[in-house]
Structure 1
């Protein structure tokens, strides 16, 4: 499936034999040159249609404008967010739809429920989220307390945060306010439900902490 809306770079993705392949082209059908961002040229966020599955991948370059990454996916509908910085070209991250085995996705609706407690423990590492404001059009700071665990540098920072709205259309990728903090600042442009994934590395392993929040008007 291809996405070019409002961009000078087109993104075409397909899935075959346990492998995602992505092709990038500019408006002259040439491969765009990519800037390195947080130690990688290419960040790929993959979610399923009800946002219960999340993966942050770094596809390998297989040729001019061609990237691939092995991944095992079940039948169903997915959205890909190709987070790149093409040199000298306008580009905004938009969802690229990927359907596997031609199943209809119309029967599945979002089932997001706001987390009453913003604390999660994964493999013995506890992270607590504090948010100073949850209003649209107002700067929002996400502060993550990693308790007794000290996050290690991962892709040039102590953590990464990805946010999607309930429809899986609005993509926000937030990096820490500084190199030595686990605070992240962003602005929500509309009210509603959002799912937030925070990534931290402990002892060489990256753990992803999901939270669901509601932003008011």
Structure 2
């Protein structure tokens, strides 16, 4: 009997000991798995957070670029409008077509006109600012009495939804003698008197790539509105290859703004309406 009881107690001790050993082992394994899963979760969170930061940085950069491109208006490098001009019997005819040969019909009013035509001779002495009449789709004409010579014309328009660059169009009237007369020289004083009316030009800068303000002093003679402002200004380089755009800085005063991107001589025509008559005052400056 004592032997049986001793065997039963020993068996119970073994069972209890085995249970505690089993529980301790799997509890430790569970802690290890839990720790591993927690570490993996934290790692995934770090990767996810890093991806999110990277996405945010990329999105911010792209957003900045988009915003910049929306607000930056780049100048066109190529013209979508083909301009042709013919001269016959004191009539200049202009034809505007797109690259597919279709007439350009949608033009914005620019300084009160659909089309401004600037014509100069090869010496830049003769200057004409004309406003041709529209006679058809993309077709204009104007009558002007020009002496024999070589000329360049500049068609100033604002097509809707088309890039456009003002470029010279050459044409010949009659039988030119083939001799150019004189060379362009910078004025010593920027003061011109025509028909007793004196106009003085003040240029804020003669340097490249700087904002330039052109201020005209017309004295006591009262100016009348002309082409939507108190004057109109045209600038060409000495070879009449580059047409410089000029913008009124003030619609009540003869002040204009522009910029020169190349060195050299430039001729400026300031056009003003006085006593019902429009007069062009020419000035020559040098940009260095």
Same fold (TM > 0.5): yes
- Please classify the TM superposition score into its range, dividing by the shorter chain length: over 0.9
Structure 1 residue 176, shift from structure 2 partner: 1.6
Which blocks of at least 5 consecutive residues in structure 2 are unaligned? 1-76
TM-score, reference length from structure 2: 0.70
- 2:125 aligns to what SS in structure 1? coil
Q: CA deviation at 1:118?
A: 1.0
2:197 is aligned, of 108, 125, 147, to 125
CA positional deviation for 1:103: 4.0
Q: Name the SS of the counterpart of 1:196 in structure 2.
A: strand
Distance 2:198 2:180 in 1: 31
Q: Which stretch shows the higher mean deviation, 122-131 or 62-71? A: 122-131
Larger Rg: 2
Q: 1:110 Cα shift? A: 6.0
* Partner Cα distance (2:252, 2:108) in 1: 24
Q: Which sections of structure 1, spanning at least 5 residues, go unmatched?
A: none
Aligned 8 A contact 1:159 1:175 in 2: no
* 2:247–2:258 CA contact under 8 A, matched in 1: no
Is 1:23 matched with 2:95? Answer: yes
For 2:167, the equivalent position in structure 1 comes to 94
How far is the alpha carbon of 1:60 from its aligned partner? 0.3
Q: Does 1 or 2 have the higher relative contact order (CA < 8 Å, sep 6+)?
A: 1
Displacement after TM superposition at 1:58 (Å): 0.3
Q: Map of 1:1-80 to 2, 5 A cutoff?
A: 6-32=78-104, 33-80=106-153
Whole-Å Cα distance in 2 between the matches of residues 215 and 110 of structure 1? 20
Cα pair 1:44 1:83 within 8 Å, conserved? yes
C-alpha distance in 2, partners of 1:23/1:133?
A: 38
Cα separation, 1, equivalents of 2:143 and 2:115: 15
| Higher strand proportion | 1
Structure 1 position 104, deviation (Å)? 7.1
User: Given the two structures, how large is their TM-score scaled by the length of structure 1?
Assistant: 0.93
Query: Structure 1 CA distance, aligned partners of 2:274 and 2:173?
Result: 33
Shift, 1:91, TM fit: 0.5
Q: Which has the higher helix share?
A: 2
1:181-192 pair list within 5 angstroms: 181-192=253-264
Distance 1:102 1:25 in 2: 29
Q: CA distance change for structure 1 residues 102 and 142 in 2, over 3 Å: closer, same or farther?
A: same
1:110 touches 1:167 (CA, 8 Å); kept in 2? no
Give per-residue Cα distances to partners, 1:27-80, cap 9 Å, x unaligned.
222221111011100000000001001010000011111100000111111000
**Hey, what's the Cα distance between the residues in 2 that align with 1:84 and 1:22?**
12
Question: Which residue of structure 1 lines up, in the alignment, with residue 219 of structure 2?
Answer: 147
What is the rounded CA distance, in whole Å, between the counterparts of 1:73 and 1:109 in structure 2? 17
